[in-house]
Structure 1
């Protein structure tokens, strides 16, 4: 279900690129979509879910159904009220929100500059997109309840509906409007509403569909609030970085936010499929080994996670770097998305890709702390990385513009990975035996050979521009296939074997 959602998310971006390109309207739409999504990570599936699920699980297994229903009702009422107020205030004061996070556009509007229209459009679109926060928060709560009841497929499938709603709006609604971006914003609004309504019948079938009640001082709600505080800091780190990037990008040339968005979407595909998946797999295994105090088994499991990230992340990183522009051309270059947009987005993707391995390692290494019930250390190092990112943003954005923001993001991810890895190594939890270091060298060498082969066979840029859509897709598929075969063959020639991807336990 998650893979299906990722694929439809990519298709959604393809449709949006053809409709909007990377101009001023696209910049504003991505801006208006990003702000409520930032708060979603706090109120919805991020910090809230991490705090709510353990408490709900305890009620579900240790108390009566009526007690569980009461906790759900009071949590829904309390969270729904708070988020509802935040949403209402943001809709009414959308110009203030737009000025806060799009300071460059606001100053241009205030001084009568050419980008003032972006500020006015952002204020309008935020009124349409911000209610998504309310719907998705309740959707996340419903999904957490269903997961706790052992019904995982419903919550995993639900994000597909958002992508379907936006794609539908992009195809059937937006082209009929004088301002297509308003149609896309309506797609976000209805996507959030549909996701919420979709889960209600399943809640009723599970016997936990309840009417929300205010319960600020309910013991269960108090525990959830208490648990949310450290989680809020942890989840906020990366989101604050993204918002700071957006703030700086509002001072840069038109298209900057869009180019960064398209580049980030391609980066997120391997990160979500590989990095997050591996971290999800090893967390319960590490937790079990910590409980049984099997240090050798624990080290082997964490070492396995690192090796899996390396063998998947290094070639993915090399592939994104050498095929950045061809990928963007094959996926997005149609309609309003021009070859010049593909070129500029490829610069950002190349910069982002240099940090892909670091981003994936952060996901895996953090489990070395979470599995030992240490939630504070990753937050501390994440804050250091966030502060580094802010400084690096200013340092690199001045000479390199929006590409500098991507460079800063990649470097801060590397700083975070080094901090986590160094501490785990000093604690004796991360062993990094000689065999793993040899394995790393073999993978890097194989990836370099792969990159050289792909560059050798890659058609000239002019041919990519002139080629038809089907030709570009076939070329890209051929290059990726050739790269994959070359990497595997090179890895074997250099001494790599399947047994290096297994643990003894």
Structure 2
């Protein structure tokens, strides 16, 4: 666990800075464009290239490419260097072609992810998409570079590079707000020049992120040399393995498409309670997952892959169980605190510029529901890496299909049965139930594969973590009640709630967990104490 903890700590530091600057980026952007018509148009336009990237290469990187690079590094006389160069060459060509085709099809793509939009909103969204869609190429090239770096156990650059992207986007959003002012949040008055600044500025941030990752490759001895030898690229093996990954991503994105269309439909009924609210709440939900779980997952996959290749199944189970406990030790209190303090978080971040306190509170209500999903969602992602370590991309497809079926059914029910204002909260609840169910099924299947995942020990550990976290949640709830009794909810009172409720609550949790001798907390406390004592 100590090696994973150290590697995770390096990544978590970069990810934390990345997510914090991402907080600022999201807040400044929301202040500039709001959560009404223009906000929805931008969020849909921004989401499409991320979806296309996931469909075409994102899922393949983690499930197929990383294990294949590791095998080639071990088997090839040159340590896999030529294979890495072919991968980068073919990936770059393919991504540029995809980006160009996506720009040409911007109109149909926007139509696919929107519901009931008038001509003006569709026109603005398409214009933004044409400026933003080229980032597919740069995002993908950077991701390939990050995957190669991870196989060399270099995790810092992939975790720190997004910080530059956030800084660029913060600057763009500030300039946009200064130039456009209040008119910049109104879709009827936004100008072509405003849209150019917003769209091209968004892509510029991804370009900067890509350049940092490509430059970092030189430190591990990678020298880009175009190689087009398809026969030696292992495309046949990759294709056979990746076909299931494409199916997995396609099914997942089908679920996302359904959610997006339902959320945009809800926004048409109640302005401000639509796709932007769901999108912003989901981004904040991803903060603790990105800082804590992604770091552990990234460090675990190469280690589990090597253990599988060496036939050490017991090590795979130990790595997984250790990873779950290490992830959960901070996600358990984070999830409970989000359920209590969600509106305080979003009011502090979003109640500025062209945003209102009511809009910020609504995003916080959605975030509270997402808090329920934090632990099961993260454990589900860890379980998928068990299958990927075996080169099995078929089982995750079956799990994804089950998740999407449950999520789509519950989301559709929420859309038609709930009052319009509560639809997006219902979508978040559907997401939660889907991942709770999916995690239970995935655990049984993965446990059979490795002959045990230490379920009893993990369950006992999680139970102790929740017991230690309950007093922290109670403190946060008490601070929330007292603050609301004394003053109205605004940015200042929200800051007090977070500092007193969240800060004191987390310290209390760590103290109780340390006294309960939860080993993961003791390891974290010991590592921090050792750093401070130097």
Q: TM-score over 0.5 for the alignment?
A: yes
CA distance 1:142–1:426, change in 2 (3 Å): closer
Q: Is the 8 A contact 2:72 2:79 kept in 1?
A: no
Query: Does 2:94 correspond to 1:94?
Result: no
Query: Does 2:208 correspond to 1:194?
Result: yes
Match of 2:433 among 384, 392, 411: 411
SS in 2 for 1:104: coil
For residues 58 and 27 of structure 1, the distance between their equivalents in structure 2, rounded to whole angstroms, comes to 44
What's the CA shift for 1:392? 1.4
Which residue does 2:530 correspond to in 1?
none
Q: How many residues align?
A: 488
TM-score with structure 2 length normalisation?
0.81
Query: Does 2:412 correspond to 1:394?
Result: yes
CA distance 1:369–1:152, change in 2 (3 Å): closer
SS in 2 for 1:378: helix
SS in 1 for 2:265: coil
Q: Is the 8 A contact 2:25 2:170 kept in 1?
A: yes
SS in 1 for 2:355: coil
For residues 99 and 486 of structure 1, the distance between their equivalents in structure 2, rounded to whole angstroms, comes to 49
Which residue does 2:174 correspond to in 1?
171
What's the CA shift for 1:423? 2.8
Match of 1:208 among 218, 223, 247: 223
Q: Which moved more, 1:293-302 or 1:413-422?
A: 293-302
Match of 1:486 among 480, 485, 508: 508
For residues 490 and 467 of structure 2, the distance between their equivalents in structure 1, rounded to whole angstroms, comes to 32
What's the CA shift for 1:447? 2.7
Q: Is the 8 A contact 2:260 2:275 kept in 1?
A: yes
For residues 350 and 4 of structure 1, the distance between their equivalents in structure 2, rounded to whole angstroms, comes to 23
Which residue does 2:388 correspond to in 1?
370
Q: Is the 8 A contact 2:328 2:375 kept in 1?
A: yes
What's the CA shift for 1:487? 2.7
What's the CA shift for 1:350? 1.6
Q: Unaligned stretches of 5+ in structure 2?
A: 1-13, 185-189, 524-534
For residues 194 and 392 of structure 1, the distance between their equivalents in structure 2, rounded to whole angstroms, comes to 40
Match of 2:518 among 482, 493, 498: 498
| 1:110-125 matched pairs, under 5 angstroms | 116-125=119-128
Which residue does 1:79 correspond to in 2?
91
For residues 154 and 278 of structure 2, the distance between their equivalents in structure 1, rounded to whole angstroms, comes to 36
Q: Unaligned stretches of 5+ in structure 1?
A: 110-115
For residues 222 and 509 of structure 2, the distance between their equivalents in structure 1, rounded to whole angstroms, comes to 52
Match of 2:245 among 231, 241, 246: 231
For residues 252 and 235 of structure 2, the distance between their equivalents in structure 1, rounded to whole angstroms, comes to 26
For residues 473 and 80 of structure 2, the distance between their equivalents in structure 1, rounded to whole angstroms, comes to 58
What's the CA shift for 1:56? 4.4
CA distance 1:212–1:199, change in 2 (3 Å): farther
Measured against aligned partners, the alpha-carbon deviations of 1:243-264 in whole angstroms (never above 9, x if no partner) come to: 3211222212233111112211
Which residue does 2:347 correspond to in 1?
329
Which residue does 1:103 correspond to in 2?
115
- Aligned alpha-carbon RMSD (Å): 3.3
For residues 57 and 372 of structure 1, the distance between their equivalents in structure 2, rounded to whole angstroms, comes to 13
Query: Does 2:293 correspond to 1:275?
Result: yes
SS in 2 for 1:402: helix
Query: Does 2:60 correspond to 1:47?
Result: yes
SS in 1 for 2:99: helix
CA distance 1:461–1:341, change in 2 (3 Å): farther
For residues 303 and 147 of structure 1, the distance between their equivalents in structure 2, rounded to whole angstroms, comes to 21
What's the CA shift for 1:203? 5.4
Which residue does 2:325 correspond to in 1?
307
Which residue does 1:158 correspond to in 2?
161
What's the CA shift for 1:330? 1.6
Which residue does 1:452 correspond to in 2?
474
What's the CA shift for 1:67? 8.9
Match of 2:140 among 123, 129, 137: 137
Which residue does 1:258 correspond to in 2?
276
CA distance 1:137–1:467, change in 2 (3 Å): closer
Q: Is the 8 A contact 2:106 2:126 kept in 1?
A: yes
SS in 2 for 1:250: helix
What's the CA shift for 1:451? 1.8
Q: Is the 8 A contact 2:15 2:290 kept in 1?
A: no
Measured against aligned partners, the alpha-carbon deviations of 1:317-358 in whole angstroms (never above 9, x if no partner) come to: 110001011111122221122111122112211221111111
For residues 303 and 128 of structure 2, the distance between their equivalents in structure 1, rounded to whole angstroms, comes to 45
What's the CA shift for 1:190? 1.3
For residues 437 and 145 of structure 1, the distance between their equivalents in structure 2, rounded to whole angstroms, comes to 35
Q: Is the 8 A contact 1:200 1:209 kept in 2?
A: no
Which residue does 2:397 correspond to in 1?
379
Measured against aligned partners, the alpha-carbon deviations of 1:420-457 in whole angstroms (never above 9, x if no partner) come to: 12334556413433x65444433333333322222112
For residues 224 and 429 of structure 1, the distance between their equivalents in structure 2, rounded to whole angstroms, comes to 29
Which residue does 1:112 correspond to in 2?
none
TM-score with structure 1 length normalisation?
0.85
CA distance 1:312–1:219, change in 2 (3 Å): closer
Match of 1:430 among 430, 445, 453: 453
For residues 407 and 438 of structure 1, the distance between their equivalents in structure 2, rounded to whole angstroms, comes to 26
